A and B are shown apart, each in its own frame.
Chain A
Amino acid sequence: GQNIDQPTEMTATEGAIVQINCTYQTSGFNGLFWYQQHAGEAPTFLSYNVLDGLEEKGRFSSFLSRSKGYSYLLLKELQMKDSASYLCAVRDLREYGGATNKLIFGTGTLLAVQP
């Protein structure tokens, strides 16, 4: 089956670095996405990995290891506005022979940034 695991909650301090981990199990993996979601709002796209390695975008970086079924999102120089839920999502090519752009989401990691 398909399974995505990420911690439920994390707390970090303003200015610090935090790493949010995500592990997944799927047979037809074709990309991993990270989204940020503030309370009551829609998810906002942060990053996408399909090959192994690190993708960097400003204060945000995302890493993928396909052999380990593992990804992490790294947030540097934390700001109060980074307090949000971070969603890990995997695209599974098994659906509809690859014709579907279905994302399978984890339950999200609620990050609280403290002063």
Chain B
Amino acid sequence: DAGVTQSPTHLIKTRGQHVTLRCSPISGHKSVSWYQQVLGQGPQFIFQYYEKEERGRGNFPDRFSARQFPNYSSELNVNALLLGDSALYLCASSLGGAGAETQYFGPGTRLLVL
């Protein structure tokens, strides 16, 4: 079975631009979470979606938005990019939206903002 997939794997943007990152969860998983990992730090929670509804939002500005589609895939959008948005963006999937479920991470999208 395929694991969590993300695209693109790498991306270079300039300040002020917009970016869309994509994630497909493990087959049968209905929940997707997004994390930002800056070099040398642990991942920081951005969003969780379950059944197309937002279940949680971390401490990120409104420039960050996300959505989940009927097939449970998800997009993370970041507007007005800043240099500080350079990071590894990780998508994690789990079976449902709640409960102490294990989250499985995708390979990530490495974003560089110049």
Contacts and interface: CB of A to CB of B under 8 A. Distances in A.
Contact of A105 (B40, B43, B98, B106): B43
A101 B43 contact: no
Point out which of B94, B104, B106 has the most chain A C-beta atoms below 10 A from its C-beta: B104
Nearest to A49: B100
Given A42-B108, A48-B102, A95-B56, A101 B94 contact: yes
B73 to A, nearest CB: 17
A33 B42 CA distance: 13
A3 to B, nearest CB: 12
B interface residue count range (under 10 / 10 to 19 / 20 to 34 / 35 or more): 20 to 34
Contacts of B42: 4, 87, 89, 105-108
Interface residues of A, number: 28
Interface of B: 31, 33, 35, 40-45, 48, 55-56, 58, 90, 94, 97-108
Main secondary structure, interface of B, reads loop
B101 A101 contact: yes
Interface string A83-108: 00001010100011011111111111
Contacts of A50: 100
Contact of B98 (A4, A42, A43, A101): A101
Contact of A100 (B43, B44, B90, B98): B98
Interface of A: 4, 30-31, 33, 35, 41-45, 48, 50, 87, 89, 91, 95-96, 98-108
Nearest to B98: A99
B105 A30 contact: no
B6 to A, nearest CB: 9
B105 A104 contact: no
Which 3 A-B pairs give the minimum distances between C-beta atoms?
A105-B42, A100-B56, A31-B100
A87 B31 CA distance: 22
Contacts of B44: 105
